[in-house]
A and B are shown apart, each in its own frame.
Chain A
């Protein structure tokens, strides 16, 4: 736990950060605004996962699946019937976009609930492997249910609008303080609003009664049940919560990318989200946000500026090109980050492994370990 800083300092810091984020669209170009929107979407998804994996101790590799449910749910529900690419015919009920967005989040939650009988019976690596199945199942559906998903080439994303005002598009024209407010600017604000709301809500849950129950359930399920925590309901609750956060994140990713393709929602994405929450320290909402910013932002930024740096091989030449360099750098940074956070003994970092180790060891060495752990 962080030392109790004075409330005034903390509020001032938060307010300054928020003001800075609110002012960003006046200074940043379209590329940075897009990176920002992707990062904020990832922050929401990562927060959902850190509550599930870090607080509740339910290892999930299915996050990409729930992200896809949100993204494709929105694309389909808001989509109009019509011709897609590569000769596919798209269907879609063409619902008002806000309704479609809400339904897509609910759909993701329902998918989480549907998976909860499995989640209630398994935990640890077993649950991780079982949840893996969802990713493969999901991708199979995404590639093959062409009228709904558009198949390999995916599906375009309708702009989200409220009462004719596009929250993510250019209609109608809007100029604020001499700056035209186009799609990128609006998207930035919408993503920011969602991310802040997601952050605040998750923080309250984690600090409050559900969070305490989840954490004890992770560390000692029998003790939690003996304190009156209904385990099955809380395991399901954690899954639904995390799936709904993933749903919101999925919609934002879709709106930012303007098109959803099945390739994006593979196992790699699930693992990236796990990396985000491990880097940030499992169970820490703030940590998840930092991890998400790092994992999502770094590759985008490095590959954008990689060419400008000029030390890398051009496509076709021998040597390390920018994209490879980015991957190497990024991989090394993840390892460094995890080692750093584990050694500093942050209270939440790699909590699960530590808990397991402590429980597995007999009394004396367990106590020694606990002392070293702090």
Chain B
């Protein structure tokens, strides 16, 4: 499903965090959003997720996302992995992944409290699926481990798997390999590729690691000071004079 942003703008006081940002994420593609610090990449994600109210239009397929609260956007199939790990530390990996099934399940205070058969079946079914996703993400061995006991790289991976466990149409990954070792990075890149191929999910990626982005993305949008300064395939973006200027301060 296509995710399109049209003239999206966002102000924090007098600062224009996003200034008429437009780009399209093609279904089943890996789309990178890059730019220097403070360019508006994370704001872009927050806008798509419904955390910030923005001007302009953000559409997923035919659905308008602007103005919807975050939990509704999540229910429409937009999943996000956070840059600064946002997991429940004392909870196990399994419980953390099960939270992602929230919008796919229905047990409330009453039905869960009474332990209805419907609830037990639902729990069982989703546990099986989540276990599959954990295996896919290489987390099968740590399912019952509290997240706080995992290494940084593994927690990053749980963050990724949790987003996958939402069964999304669009997966937003905010710096998925930041702070990872060389091997962890390679594993995550393989995982992203596999996710796209096996699940056919569109992936939007914010990342600072340029070689990784150039090798992985089908298309790249470059932001600087809240504006799109370049948009196109990696080869095009790499040579773009504005991009060189923004990144290297080079004069054309």
With beta carbons under 8 angstroms apart, the residue of A205, A216, A226, A229 that contacts B109 is: A205
A52 contacts chain B at the CB level, 8 A cutoff: no
CB of A358 closer than 8 Å to a CB of B: yes
Q: What A residues does B95 contact at CB under 8 A?
A: 212
Cα-based distance from A178 to B75 in the complex (angstroms)? 62
CB distance from A227 to the nearest CB of B (A): 5
Bound CA–CA A208/B107 (angstroms): 8
CB atoms of A373 and B99 under 8 A apart = no
Task: Tell me which residues from 71 to 102 in chain B have a Cβ below 8 Å from any Cβ of chain A.
Answer: 71, 73-75, 79-80, 82, 86-92, 95-96, 98-102
* Closest CB in chain A relative to B177 CB, distance in Å: 15
Q: Tell me whether B99 and A216 are in contact (CB under 8 A).
A: yes
Residues of chain A contacted by B69 (CB below 8 angstroms): 225, 230
Chain A residue total in the interface (Cβ 8 A): 38
Contact with B along A350-374 (1 / 0, CB 8 A): 0100010010000100010010011
A-contact bits for B131-163, CB 8 A (1 contact / 0 none): 000000000000000101100100000000010
Q: Which residues of B contact A226 (CB under 8 A)?
A: 49, 51, 70-71, 73-74, 79-80, 82
Looking at the assembled complex, report how far the CB atom of B106 sits from the nearest CB atom of chain A, in whole angstroms: 8
Chain B positions 33 through 73: 1 when the CB is less than 8 Å from some CB of chain A, otherwise 0: 00000000000000001110000000000000000011101
Q: Are A373 and B148 in contact (CB under 8 A)?
A: yes
Assuming the A-B contacts A205-B109, A226-B80, are A370 and B86 also in contact, with contact meaning beta carbons closer than 8 angstroms in the complex?
A: no
B99-115 interface with A by 8 A CB criterion:
99-103, 105, 107-109, 112-115
Q: Which residues of A contact B175 (CB under 8 A)?
A: none
**Which of the listed residues A201, A225, A355 has the most CB atoms from chain B within 10 Å of its own CB?**
A225
List, in ascending order, chain B residues with CB within 8 A of A222's CB.
Answer: 51, 70, 86
C-alpha spacing A222/B80, complex, angstroms: 11
B71:A229 contact, CB within 8 angstroms: yes
Interface positions, chain B 226-251, Cβ under 8 Å from A, are none
The reply to whether B102 and A201 form a contact with Cβ atoms under 8 Å apart is no
Q: Is B5 an interface residue (CB 8 A)?
A: no
Residues 327 to 351 of chain A near chain B (Cβ within 8 Å): 347-348, 351
| A231, CB-defined interface residue at 8 Å | yes
Q: Quick one: closest B residue to A197, CB to CB?
A: B113
Contact digits for B151-191, partner A, Cβ 8 Å, 1 yes 0 no: 01000000000100010000000000001000000000000
Structural contact, B152 and A367, CB atoms closer than 8 A: yes
Query: B146 contacts which chain A residues (CB < 8 A)?
Result: 1, 347, 374
The 9 nearest A-B residue pairs measured at CB: A228-B103, A223-B86, A225-B70, A228-B74, A208-B112, A201-B113, A220-B86, A209-B107, A228-B102
Given A209-B107, A212-B88, A213-B102, 10 further pairs, Cβ under 8 A = A208-B119, A209-B102, A209-B105, A212-B91, A220-B88, A224-B99, A225-B70, A229-B71, A351-B90, A355-B89
Chain A: residues with CB nearer than 8 A to chain B? Answer: 1, 200-202, 204-205, 208-213, 215-216, 219-220, 222-231, 237, 241, 347-348, 351, 355, 358, 363, 367, 370, 373-374
Q: List 26 A-B contacts (CB under 8 A).
A: A1-B92, A200-B115, A201-B113, A204-B114, A208-B123, A209-B123, A210-B107, A210-B109, A210-B112, A213-B102, A216-B88, A220-B87, A222-B86, A223-B82, A226-B71, A227-B71, A227-B74, A227-B99, A227-B100, A228-B166, A229-B71, A229-B99, A348-B90, A351-B90, A367-B152, A370-B148
